[in-house]
Structure formats: structure tokens, C-alpha cells
Amino acid sequence: MRIVVLFLASVFLAFSSGPAFADFDQSKAWFQTLTADERTETQANLILLGYYEYLVDGQFGTGTYQALTAFQKSLGRAATGALIEKDRQKLLDLAAQVYNELGMDLVRDEEGQAALILPTALLTVRTPGERGNSYATADGDMVLETSRTLSSERTFRTLYDTLKTPGEGRFILYSNYNDDRFVVSGKQDGRSFYSMFQNVEGESVGYTLTWTEAHDERAGMLSIFITSHFAPLRYMPAEEGQTKVAESPTEARRFGVFELPENAPDTIVLNGEVTLNLAGDFEQAIAARPNARILLLNSPGGYVDNALAVAHEVHRRGMATVVDDGMGCYSACSYIFFAGSPRQAVGELGVHQISAEVADLVLAQTTLSDVLDALDQFGVEQVVITQMLRTPPEDMYVFSEAEIAELGINQGGPIEVADITLSPIGNEPVQDVPTRITPQEDAPVPAPQTAGAAYVQLALQSSEAEAERSLTYARERWAGVLGDAAPEIERAELPQGTVYRIRVPARSLENANAICAAIKSAGGGCYVTRSES
């Protein structure tokens, strides 16, 4: 998970007396009364007026609150973060004025295989290309270029590494990467630039916007707005007479980390990390498969708020959630699992405290409150929640088969799922990890190794028997990525009692990070700790 909260009452008491945002909760409550479309529309309108500097996701956070209060201040209103109907209409009217002045319109770029909302009144000069087009102002001071690159020519990660490399008059100010999308911005030869690319079924599809200093304010707004509404053309409904890239009938369609397997028309698969754009990707997956009734989960976790957004939508739709045999659902992914009705965990289900480093204690407490409210709404037993809150962020508590049965974790009858082969997660081979280890039958459990410089933590169990089961699972599940590294069991005394950690000793911190990356790329969950911990 990517939000940090230490569940300590003393910390809460120490910081709760001085709220950072007096009306934050009031603003959030108002925002959540809006429909999903109204929330995204509100954020998009705030972008057009220059108040919101983040991608549209329909989720409430500090950025949305600050944008709403800044807009209210511009009208001479009290900065509550909750718009009265008159001011909400004013926001719509002002944004529509900017939208119309710029001639914002949906452009279906065949050569670049992208659908973008572009300022056609501003970028009036179009120059066609083979795998993309150029859209520019008459004076060339602002230029947007679409492009697509085949993975066989350059992988998604390699393209990112190339674009974020400085030198020869090129300076990088910001870069952010995940397996679904990356952004790189900076300056080159006196012009600012912003590049965004998405990883789309065998190719990288995106655009680069460049501009001179005179266009700084407007171009910054446009880059955020265009990225928020960008979509690969293959995921758009084809217009009459329009060519659409053919999809292989043997491959699952993908929307970010969501897959739509051809042999299971009632199923959507979450296969990968919970990313910042998870909710938007799920919306696209649902639009493409509106009658899906099963969500299959294989994820190491990720961003809390985005997992909760998908969880609430799963709960609202009454979808079943399944962690199938050989799969794992850890950390933030567990919230989505618990939202299912019915729900069934055959593979591993792991939980721990919310974790990450943020200084905003008000936001952190609010996030924890959202998690607890959601779990209560989903009918999760208190003992399950307690186990989550007791497990440190650097550990992962994996529920045993007995606990899954006894604690009401599975609900409803058995859920039949098709035999699905998951796509590999990630695009690059992990370096410094030998490719194969041959497991030995009936091999004795090795004694804990203490000479390693770092450890890869895989699971946490409350009994030795379950720890042995997890150890066997780890040996079999990760045999292809562990190389000569051997999983082990470490007994530890924690405040809640004796626990058993399943971990992998590594010869260096770098090697531990490489092993954990390989496990995550195969759909597992893990954390890296130094030997002294």
C-alpha cells in the first residue's frame, strides 16, 4: 500500500487537535454526493480553469479540496470546499467558455492509434506522419505530436528510459513510471515538453506536447486535461468506415491491469499492481464487458484510495470476487476481494497495516477511516480487521485455510471460474536473478540463515503448521524466480504473540529488490527488509 498510517492512539491524539483543513470532511461528504460522472466532470472543469493540477480520477483528496476552495475564493465565497448549486453552475459555465474558446474536440488519430480531446482552435496546423501526426499553432510555438512504437522495436520500459535520459540540451524535471503508463516532462533546447505513453497490447501509444515560455500556463493545463481523457483508439467504438487495429482472438483484451479473457465472457481479471488509474481502467473494462459477474484477483496491492474506489463499485454491482488456486491477493487488493458478493479465496489472501510515508496526518487518518468504513460495509468480521491492524507494514499476514473457513472470509457457495492463463505482469526481465531452481522432493526444511544482507518477506503466519504450508507454497509458486535463494521460516516474538515469517535471504539489498520485483511481476506480494531488522 502507498499511504502511511501507524495505528497508534497516541499519535492520533498528538496530532488531531490542529486540523490541517477545517472543512476537509465537509467537502469530501459533498463531493461524494455527486455521481461518478459529476465528480470527474467537476475535476475536469477545475483543470480547464487552472485550479486542479492532477489527473482526473473522480476520487476526493487534498488536490480536489484545494482546487474547490481556490475556485470559491475566486468568487468571493467562503472556502468550504462544498459548492452551492449556484457556484457549481458557475463552474460549468466558466469551464464551458474555455472549452469552446479553445475548440476542444475529440480527435481520432488513426496513425497514432489514439483518441484525444485537442484544442482544435489553437492547434490548427496538422502534419501527417506514418505512425502519428503533428498538431501545431500557426507560429509553431506549441506542438503536439502523437506516436506509437511497436514493442518488438522498443519495449515500453526502454522507451521510458530513453525519454527520461538528459543530455544535449535536454533537462528532466519530472518522470513517473508504472507498467501501464509513464509521464516524462522537462525542457529541451529552450522549450518545455510533456510526454505521456500508455502500454497497449504490444505497442506504446502516446503523445508529446512542446511549447515556448509564452504558453507555459495554458500548455500545463492542456497536458493534464489531454492525458486525463486520452484513450488508445483500439478501445474506442469504431466509427462507420473507420479502421480499427485488429485484436488477436487468442489474447485477452487489456485495460491497464484488467484483462478480459476470451474463454470466460463473464469474467474480468485484475492481474497486476493497484495503480493510480485503476478506477478508470476498471470503468473501461466494465464498459467493454458490462455483464461480467466475476472479478478474478491476482495482485500484490498498491494505492489504497484507488483500490477502495474499485471495491465500492464491485460491491454496488454485486460482483463475485475470487482469488483462485495459484494466485495471490495482498494488501490493498484485499479490500476489493472483501467487496465481493459472493467471495472465494482459494489462493493466498494477505493483509497488513496501511503503509507509506506521508506527513499529512489528517489525510492519513481519513484514509484509515475510509478503509474501516468499507470493511464494515462489506461485512468483514472484526477479528479479520484486528489482524490487519496488528500486522506491521513490513510484514504480510496470510490467512490459513482454517482461518478462511472459520472467520467467514469466504461467503456464498463455490464459484465456478474458467481455466485462465494469466498474462505476465511487466515488460522487462528482472536482472540479477538466476532463472530457475529445481525443487527437491522431501527436502528438509533449512535452518534460518542469518548471514544474508537483506530479506524478502513473503508472509506472516500465527502457527508453525501454517508457516510450513506457506513455505511449501513459496517454494513451489516462486521456483522459477528464486534461483539459488531458498525460502525459510523465521520465528519472531511480537507484542501480539509468536509469529512465523516466511522470508528469502538475499546476498545483497540489490539482490533482494530484484527477487521481490520478480515475485511482484509474477503476481505475488513481498517486501524487502535489511538483515538487522
pLDDT digits (tens, 9 = 90+) for 60-84: 888 999 999 999 999 999 999 999 9
**457-513 tens-digit pLDDT:** 877 777 788 788 878 878 887 777 776 778 899 888 766 578 788 888 887 766 777
pLDDT band at 421 (very low <50, low <70, confident <90, very high): low
pLDDT of residue 510: 64
Q: What average pLDDT does the segment 49-68 reach? A: 91
pLDDT band at 278 (very low <50, low <70, confident <90, very high): confident
Q: What average pLDDT does the segment 401-407 reach? A: 88
pLDDT band at 524 (very low <50, low <70, confident <90, very high): low
Residues 315, 344 contacting (CB under 8 angstroms): no
pLDDT of residue 121: 92
Residues 378, 416 contacting (CB under 8 angstroms): no
Given a cut of 80, is residue 359 above it in pLDDT?
A: no
- Answer yes or no: CATH 1.10.12 is held by domain 9-101: no
**256-277 tens-digit pLDDT:** 889 888 888 899 999 888 877 7
Q: Which residue has the higher pLDDT, 493 or 217?
A: 217
pLDDT of residue 147: 95
Q: Which residue has the higher pLDDT, 530 or 131?
A: 131
Question: Would you give the DSSP letter of residue 202?
Answer: T
- pTM of the shown model: 0.51
pLDDT of residue 450: 38
Q: Which residue has the higher pLDDT, 469 or 116?
A: 116
pLDDT of residue 364: 58
The Cβ-side half-sphere exposure at 68, using a 13 Å CA radius, reads 26
Q: For the CA atoms of 25, 28, 29, 32, what is the dihedral angle to 10 degrees? A: -160
- Answer yes or no: CATH 3.40.50.720 is held by domain 253-406: no
Pick the most confident of 19-28, 37-46, 235-244, 486-495. Answer: 37-46
Residues 180, 198 contacting (CB under 8 angstroms): yes
Given a cut of 90, is residue 415 above it in pLDDT?
A: no
Q: Which residue has the higher pLDDT, 146 or 510?
A: 146
Q: What average pLDDT does the segment 402-428 reach? A: 75
pLDDT of residue 137: 95
Mark out the alpha helices in 289-324 (DSSP H runs). 304-317
* Angstrom distance (rounded) from CA 283 to CA 285: 5
Cα 290 to Cα 229, 265, 301, 454: the distances in Å are: 21, 10, 25, 46
Question: Would you give the DSSP letter of residue 411?
Answer: B
Given a cut of 70, is residue 221 above it in pLDDT?
A: yes
* Angstrom distance (rounded) from CA 431 to CA 419: 31
Pick the most confident of 219-228, 385-394, 476-485. Answer: 219-228
**127-139 tens-digit pLDDT:** 998 899 999 999 9
**Helix H or strand E segment including 338:** helix 333-338
pLDDT band at 17 (very low <50, low <70, confident <90, very high): very low
pLDDT over 70 percentage in the chain: 80
Q: What average pLDDT does the segment 179-186 reach? A: 91
pLDDT of residue 360: 45
* Angstrom distance (rounded) from CA 445 to CA 146: 55
- Answer yes or no: CATH 3.40.50.720 is held by domain 111-232: no
* Angstrom distance (rounded) from CA 103 to CA 123: 9
Tell the CATH superfamily of the 454-530 domain: Sporulation related repeat (3.30.70.1070)
Given a cut of 50, is residue 405 above it in pLDDT?
A: yes
**103-113 tens-digit pLDDT:** 999 899 999 99
- State the average pLDDT for the chain: 80
Residues 487, 471 contacting (CB under 8 angstroms): yes
pLDDT of residue 366: 65
Q: What average pLDDT does the segment 196-208 reach? A: 92
Q: How is residue 153 written as a grid cell?
A: 522495436
Burial 286-306 (b: 16+ CB within 10 A, else e): beebeebebbbbbbbbbbbbb
Q: What average pLDDT does the segment 118-144 reach? A: 94
pLDDT of residue 521: 56
Given a cut of 90, is residue 27 above it in pLDDT?
A: yes
* Angstrom distance (rounded) from CA 231 to CA 247: 16
* Angstrom distance (rounded) from CA 429 to CA 508: 19
Domain ranges of the chain: 9-101, 111-232, 253-406, 454-530
* Angstrom distance (rounded) from CA 355 to CA 300: 14
pLDDT of residue 30: 94
Given a cut of 50, is residue 4 above it in pLDDT?
A: no
Q: What average pLDDT does the segment 404-422 reach? A: 83
* Angstrom distance (rounded) from CA 504 to CA 488: 6
